[in-house]
Amino acid sequence: MKSTVKKILCILMSTAMLTGLTSFTNIVSFAAQENTEYAVIDTSNPYSYKIPGAKEAAQKNAKAPSRNAKSSFPAQYDSRNYGFVTPVRNQGQTGTCWAHSTMAAIESYELANGISDSTVNYSESHLVWFALNPKDESGQSNANDGTNLGADAYEYGGNRMDSAITLANTEGINNDADYPLYPYDDEQYPFTESDRYTHSSGRGIKDAEFLETADEIKQAIISNGGVTTSFCYAQQFEKSVYESGHRYYSYYCDTAYQSNHAVTAVGWDDNYPASRFKTDPGSDGAWLIKDSWGTGSKDNGYFWISYADASLDEFTSFSTLSLEENYKNYSYTGITPVQLLSCTKYSNIYTSSGYELISTVGILNYTPEANYTVKIYKNPGTTNPESGTLAGTATRYLKNTGYYTFEFNDIPLNPSEKFAVVVSASSSNTFWVALESSGAGAYTAHEGESFRHNGARWVSTISSGYGNTYIFVNTKCNHQTVTETSESTCSVHGHVSSVCTQCEKVITDTELPLAPHSYTFNSYITGDEILRYRTCENCGASELLSRSAVTKTVPIGNFIQMLFDLIFAKIYSLFGQSY
């Protein structure tokens, strides 16, 4: 469970908020180009969750997703009853609740969709490390952004956007057995740069949908087993009550304080009595919450939080895709975005590293209810991403904000070939592009990488004083093969293999028949027998061919003597005498 210090601080801060002594309104915000505001990332937050957001989100009633939660869905639902929930984990003395809620939701998604079995256990540690240590020792990571925190990353905190961006850079999802949370000390950490893209699980992020309504939350729980959410935890808002042979743990906060803890919602009960909460929320109903403080916490690691809780925020549904065939990930961004600008479209230009096939493009969407179009242009000019040859188009309607993946039909690239990804949307809402800013940490950006169309022309975001845009491209290897042949021996099959010279993967493999043995022949006399063998010179296999009696040679004189002896012995025997 969380450290005692964290709990005490949370209680003290919540008490201060209730008495009006502490202002807790530093929810981060974005603004349009005309009045740009930088988001505030609260690095002093002593808890385990920090909140990014947009101006629109900050202005929303925090209770919007949870009010009016009753709908046409079943009155009660519990994903545990269907085997869609993995065991409760324990974050211990770390600030990793955000990673635990993310991985719990991802594990539930894969269980609910038949991708993994009940043994699935993904590493929170790997996610935390590479979210907050995006550079390697030489500063040459994929995104080359952010500040390395070392083992302090496990106390710093994070949020759903940290999860989405880290996973979008294909850094984890990895197995917990390979990257356990404990011990997180100097002997085990830091992970090496080669650990960054291990993908031992073969999975990556597909979508992270930011849910807005109770119906969306309920549908996501049914479809995906669980969704992440955050709230302001303080002990003073808890209540436990013993009813009908069971102890219920309930939570209700009536003020929209900033979140400091992330959990996973895995069910609901529209009729959960309001009387079980410490103060009256005004209506029945609650979400079933899976926590990350171990099974010794509350009801075996679970509790109920009122639909009306005012601090509930950031309900998010995560889904995954396969990275088994992934070859490269292209991205200029490794930190949480803290700035939005209005535009008509935006773009990144990349240079391929080999013979590749563009398979997916991931983007951050801050424009809800929009028809998005993503186009790929090959060999664009240095200042106009659309000046190249159109190579592919993908479209998708996005109802909510979040991170989303667009699929392409394997667009081929040659080594060192430039390609532009252009993102646009048709919507009645303002179209936003998310950009890097020093308000979220250090970042690296170069001219010719990112562009924004202002309605009249393409403008470099870097020369305009901003960072890169958030576009993530995954490619497969477009295999360049050579044939390799190994000869068969009498004991080992040879192979004719087609091997990729780029990724070294064996594409095809034909097994050759065993070669015949190469024999030598030998004879041995053993006792009264002659044994004839053949032995393979290569493998040493030996086979007995024949065996025969030894032929003995007798001198003629001895033979005559033996003959007379037999004759006389026979004659004497006829007369009953011995010879």
> Do β-strands 481-486 and 432-435 pair in parallel, antiparallel, or remain unpaired?
unpaired
Output the pLDDT for position 172: 77
Which residue type, as a one-letter code, is found at position 231? F
Output the pLDDT for position 533: 87
Which CATH code fits 4-318? Answer: 3.90.70.10
SS3 (DSSP) at 192: coil
| Max CA pair span of the chain | 144
**Shortest CA distance to 314 belongs to which of 269, 367, 260, 266?**
260
Q: What is the token pair recorded at 58?
A: 């900050």
Output the pLDDT for position 24: 23
Distance, CA of 70 to CA of 14 (rounded, Å): 29
Q: What is the token pair recorded at 250?
A: 């309930």
**H helix and E strand count, the chain:** 8, 27
Output the pLDDT for position 60: 37
Contact at 8 Å (CB) between 62 and 51?
no
122-135 pLDDT, tens digit each: 999 999 999 988 87
Residue 513 CB neighbour total at 10 angstroms: 8
Distance, CA of 535 to CA of 537 (rounded, Å): 6
Distance, CA of 494 to CA of 412 (rounded, Å): 33
Output the pLDDT for position 31: 21
Counted residue by residue, the chain has a size of: 579
Output the pLDDT for position 146: 78
Taking the alpha carbons at both ends of the chain, their separation in whole angstroms is 110
Distance, CA of 288 to CA of 237 (rounded, Å): 16
Output the pLDDT for position 564: 72
**Secondary structure, 3-state, 383-403:** CCHHHCEEEEEEEEEECCCEE
Output the pLDDT for position 287: 98
> Do β-strands 326-330 and 389-398 pair in parallel, antiparallel, or remain unpaired?
unpaired
Distance, CA of 463 to CA of 17 (rounded, Å): 43
Output the pLDDT for position 141: 54
Q: Give the DSSP letter string of 118-161.
A: TT--B-HHHHHHHHH--S-TTS-SSS--S---GGGHHHH-B-HH
Domain regions of the chain by residue span: 4-318, 325-477, 481-511, 519-579
**Per DSSP, what are the bridge partners of residue 299?**
302
CA dist 265 → 52, 287, 304 (Å): 20, 6, 9
Which residue type, as a one-letter code, is found at position 422? V
Handedness of CA 198, 179, 263, 14 (dihedral sign): negative
Q: Give the DSSP letter string of 255-268.
A: S-PPP-EEEEEEEE
pTM over 0.85: no
Output the pLDDT for position 188: 73
SS3 (DSSP) at 559: helix
210-220 pLDDT, tens digit each: 999 999 999 99
- We find that the CATH architecture of domain 325-477 is Sandwich (2.60)
- pLDDT lower than 50: segments of the chain: 1-47, 51-68
Tokens 């990804």 sit on residue: 421
